[in-house]
Structure 1
Amino acid sequence: MTITQSINVRAATVATFLIFGMNGLVFASWAARIPAVTETLHLTSGQMGTLLLCIAVGSLLALPSAGRVVGRIGTANTVRLGGILAAAAGAGVAFSLMAGSVPGTAVSLFFFGVGIGLWDVAQNIEGADVEHRLRRTIMPQFHAAFSGGAFVGALIGAGLSNLGVGLPEHLLVIAGIVVVLALTAPRYFLPHETPDMPDGGEAPSKGPSAWRDSRTLLIGVVVLGATLTEGAGNDWIAKAAVDGLATSESTGALFFALFVLAMTVMRFLGGMVIDKFGRVAVLRASMAAAALGLALFVFAGNLVLAGIGAALWGVGAALAFPMGMSAAADDPQHAAARVSVVSTIGYVAFLAGPPLLGYLGDHTGIHLALLAIGAPILLALWLSGAAKPLTTK
């Protein structure tokens, strides 16, 4: 690697950290204040689940085509497109909440999901490319930046909630910041290189072959179970604390912040842990910790034990998704298509699972409904061997 290439990779690394962090901040700015949305719009848990499903539908429509979009316009422009769309949708949510409009909020959240989906796949493809150029494990640190941004967003959400600042004003400020960062940071991304096709066709035609690759699909199933663990915590831990532990909204946001902080710390340490113990062993330990933390959070009779459970749950949820991205990108030639496939499968759980928990919560209470993610956690634990590093020539 020449000096110029080294400088370019370092610049791309910093830019990728910033983009991951901003993504987390945007998501947490919404997730930490979900209780405020339910109160403003007078929604039940099931009705709130329907709104969350709007985000899921938007993202799940965008995710399968994200690899193709990256292939045509590059990771930098895809992040710009996704970021601007998410910012505009966030502003739409803000104005809809001011008007008390549930349909307006739903439509805005749909486009928010589309923007986040494009943004997320593009940043993971860029992160995988940087990781290969650096020749060391760094994907967990990128996801630590996401979690760090989410932690900051959760603290801001808790603080603003405690001060009585409305969610609409909060979202409008965040939207402005997103536009600025989305237009500037991606200019330092690495050029998106597309492997030549034997028939001279375009890279997106590799997508279908990735969907037929058995290892990629198994990794996707592991990530599906693991991301449901993370997604349920992101969307419902604040609400579950309020309902199940009779806490205030600001205390519920602090439980969410604790969950995210635990993920952040574990992701910063993740590279060393994975390099020492191996991807499969760490993945299995992660799923076991998530199961134990979830059980403790749900069944604890006091705030201290529930807080320990939330932290352990966060530790368990920390590394599964970035390990899945790294596993999908083991073969650089097929990394973009396979990362897109695994991202799509994983986000089925990350985005669609929590709304379903909301519907279940209407019957059992959202606190107990969280136990439903135990089965996918065990499935991910069972199939963890699929993430074993692939030896390429």
Structure 2
Amino acid sequence: MSEQTPLKARPRRELSAWRNAIFVVFALSGLSVSTWVARLPAIRDGLGLSTGEIGLLILGMSAGSIVGLIAAQLIMGRFGPRRGMVFSLVTVSVGLALIGSGAVLFEAPAVVLVGLIFFGFGNGAVDVMMNVEGAAAEKEIGKTVLPLMHASFSLGTVIGAGIGAAMAALGVSVLWHTLGMAALIAVVIVFTVRYVPVSDELGDGGGADAGAATSMNRPSLGERLRAGLAVWKDGRLIMIGIIMLGMAFAEGSANDWLTLAVVDGYDTTNATGALVFSVFVVAMTVGRVVGGPLIDRFGRVPVLRVSALSAVVGLALFILSPVLWVAVVGTVLWGLGSALGFPVGMSAAADDSRNAAARVSAVAMIGYFAFLVGPPVIGLLGEHIGLLNALFLVLGLVVMAGLASPAAREQQPRR
């Protein structure tokens, strides 16, 4: 690897603009996810699909996410984070438009499936890029900010879930809802990425000089692939991935199934299901807002252990409660407990900045395995034992994540 010229300290104004731009990217990703989730019951009812068939549709989204995770490092290496994030979120917008069109205009599950593949690919790719950029900004700031960035994702889901609940209550078509959100995401990302610094290392051709530098110093495709495979030999990284697997299952199962579990398990309306999902994402947002200061004070491991305990208790209440209000209390604990696993795992993976993109991509891939196998497994279990009982699988994986939490211990003190 060629020697890198030491980076000069960025002016505070430039660093703040960079941080805030990543906040917006996280929020846009969250907005897109909750747009899909909040309208899932309406899409299911409109297409007349079973729980198992919905699980297979979500499998397409999960498969797209895995491909996006794998491709993210290569996209960043070739085009840099600026253009990479624009490409990824525009792909998400195309996916949303196809989802709405397939559900309403064509009434074709196949079109919805194609839309979900685009949607998953874009969100999988941007997930790696925004976390790598967020970890880089975190190191320069010298404080834990990735949980707050993930809180921005949750804030986006809160806004999206609120809009979705309102659209469902008002009877607004899924088509117009998804088209509006798709246009908003595409426009905002184009204006946001100009505040992301050009990175010679990642090959962002932000100008003639940058392009010349990167053409000389950029690793070859083979070198990037070998570097990406080498990180899988790191046992600590695998354990961090296990933390993310359990917590991603806890978060992802809510994203995929909470609305339907409330509607079917507690015999409520679609609007109520969307409202309870809003409670979950509000709880996650609160957990991520307060998480950074808690981690800086107590350390990653104690916070992760308490988080896992909260998620386990919350899931148990949600599954076993005989009444809706107790399930809502469980939803709050579930959301609080799920809040920090993914961002803390990303931050821990990026402790070694020499190959941060490959390491973040690797643990994200392990975490996203939950999104790949989770939807069809929970869907198939739900067909036979009910969605609420199927969530016991999630509870067990969260216990496993709590046991693996020591792997996320800080490797070096903050400045």
**Alignment TM-score, normalising by the size of structure 1:** 0.96
* d(CA) in 2 for partners of 1:47, 1:78: 32
| Secondary structure at 1:263 match in 2 | helix
Q: How does 1:108-123 map to 2 (within 5 A)?
A: 108-123=115-130
C-alpha deviation, 1:68, in angstroms: 2.0
C-alpha deviation, 1:199, in angstroms: 10
**1:165 partnered with 2:172:** yes
2:39 touches 2:164 (CA, 8 Å); kept in 1? yes
* d(CA) in 2 for partners of 1:128, 1:338: 12
User: In structure 2, what is the equivalent of residue 69 of structure 1?
Assistant: 75
Q: How does 1:7-22 map to 2 (within 5 A)?
A: 7-22=13-28
- Give the letter for the 1:337 counterpart: A
C-alpha deviation, 1:19, in angstroms: 0.7
2:306 touches 2:337 (CA, 8 Å); kept in 1? yes
User: In structure 2, what is the equivalent of residue 145 of structure 1?
Assistant: 152
2:60 aligned to 43, 54, 57, which one? 54
Deviation per residue, 1:219-260 (Å, 9 max, x gap): 111111111010001111111011111111101111100000
- Give the letter for the 1:112 counterpart: F
Summarize the Cα distance change of 1:374–1:8 in structure 2 as closer, same or farther, 3 Å threshold: same
1:231 touches 1:351 (CA, 8 Å); kept in 2? no
Deviates more, 1:230-239 or 1:137-146: 230-239
C-alpha deviation, 1:97, in angstroms: 1.0
Q: How does 1:72-221 map to 2 (within 5 A)?
A: 72-98=78-104, 99-194=106-201, 203-221=224-242
Q: How does 1:240-319 map to 2 (within 5 A)?
A: 240-319=261-340
| Gaps in structure 2 of 5+ consecutive residues | 1-6, 203-216
Deviation per residue, 1:51-95 (Å, 9 max, x gap): 000100111122122112212211111111111111111111111
CA RMSD of aligned residues (A): 2.0
Summarize the Cα distance change of 1:78–1:389 in structure 2 as closer, same or farther, 3 Å threshold: same
C-alpha deviation, 1:300, in angstroms: 0.9
User: In structure 1, what is the equivalent of residue 360 of structure 2?
Assistant: 339
1:126 touches 1:190 (CA, 8 Å); kept in 2? no
User: In structure 2, what is the equivalent of residue 325 of structure 1?
Assistant: 346
**Alignment TM-score, normalising by the size of structure 2:** 0.91
Summarize the Cα distance change of 1:286–1:200 in structure 2 as closer, same or farther, 3 Å threshold: closer
2:128 touches 2:357 (CA, 8 Å); kept in 1? no
1:140 touches 1:319 (CA, 8 Å); kept in 2? yes
| Gaps in structure 1 of 5+ consecutive residues | none
- Give the letter for the 1:253 counterpart: A
C-alpha deviation, 1:337, in angstroms: 1.2
C-alpha deviation, 1:202, in angstroms: 5.1
2:250 touches 2:394 (CA, 8 Å); kept in 1? yes
| Secondary structure at 1:192 match in 2 | coil
